[in-house]
Structure 1
């Protein structure tokens, strides 16, 4: 039975990818070389240019049930029929059932969206953005590099929650959990926890680095 967050149901070509979680509004460059996916993309390019991206679960050996629809915004066909393309995340979906597996996976999906917030999320979103800036500042200090956040960080809480989630590198399972959440508040709260932990870890490393640098500076020369 479709959930209360369901907006519509449709068949959607599906593209499982290992350790890749796409979020609404976020870009995903792809290199299409497998024959079955070349067939899929050629078919999609003749219709609405949309397909579903699902993270492949190596433990369960199957795709996740919740993914994000991608729209092809640019593509370049190579001489051997491989394709390079840029896609953009659209709305999220949940797979209800698989309707075809050959030559590529097709599922019956329902669109899902976050529930309407019952409180003003802007203060929490502002806290999350500040935590992100702290993480970038401390990372830059540790690496002795100039690092800055891009200027186009989303202002709206939901879009910001997707942006932050998409930039959590190396934790695809955590990203998948964030993708599956159905309210912005929970997603932002979890991101605040992750960023706070990261900030505290980086701050401790920065203190240690400063102490070691000071010790090296005070050593007598030979």
Structure 2
């Protein structure tokens, strides 16, 4: 015999889906509010261009009038506010032009992620001039924190990585931009010899930071019988 439900117990309908662990992007048009339910920590990646797949951003492929209540927007309202557009196109437009509320935890998560991206990018672009060794991303990240480098969410990662290198050097850290290395592949042995001759004749005109030319591979054409 099934036990009787205690008095005052609350039953949750099995067909009800609660939208509580989400990030809402919304836009207002024609006196109506249109919302899209997204995964947390994904909206800023989408707006910043780090995330390209919309299926990794949107939880439900529908436009809502109220996400928390689970109320979808009426088709008449969608066509009035977005004439001639499908619901998929409307979702993309809401993501592009809509606004979202970012809580403190989400903001800190994206800031820490941006710091790590900048630090690892800067580490790949610089070396220790005394030992000619690359820095690890953790060393650059720790130096950024200790010396008080402030990141800018609206600026590209590569641009900030270059700024980090200049900043660390100005603060007295032993750091230099890494020299570029490149490989040249020649179709024949004759072409390789011609290139070597050209380098010997023009080495005095080449940039001082290019220290050597690495001929790593030689692809020989098969002999014709």
Shared fold, TM over 0.5 = no
Q: Which has the higher contact order (CA 8 A, sep 6+)?
A: 1
Report the structure number with the largest CA radius of gyration. 2
TM-score normalised to structure 1 length: 0.25
Between Structure 1 and Structure 2, the one with more strand by share is 1
TM-score normalised to structure 2 length: 0.25
